[in-house]
Amino acid sequence: MSMAFKGLTEFEIDNLFAAALSDDGMFTHSDLKLIFDQKQQMIMKSGILEMIPNVLNFEQHKY
């Protein structure tokens, strides 16, 4: 989960934790989608970078 917060400030991480906790009072693996969605919005607002989601599925690439 720590990779989800990579590149964010402490303030941004605190805000994402608060948002993740607000729905069920717990921080779980299911909150990762919310975190990545919010992170993508922050990046888009900056107008400097673009976030490209990683859609690699290892099941599709069996050798």
DSSP letters along the chain, please? -GGGGTT--HHHHHHHHHHHHHHHSS--GGGHHHHHHHHHHHHHHHSS---------GGGG--
Please tell me the total number of residues recorded for the chain in this structure: 63
63 domain residue, yes or no: no
Supply the pLDDT for residue 14: 92
10 domain residue, yes or no: yes
Per the structure block, which two tokens stand in for 56?
């690699």
Identify the domain containing residue 35 by its residue range.
2-44
Could you list the mean pLDDT of each consecutive 10-residue stretch along the chain, which spans 63 residues?
83 90 86 86 79 62 52
55 domain residue, yes or no: no
Question: Domain tally for the chain?
Answer: 1
Supply the pLDDT for residue 4: 81
pTM for the full model? 0.64
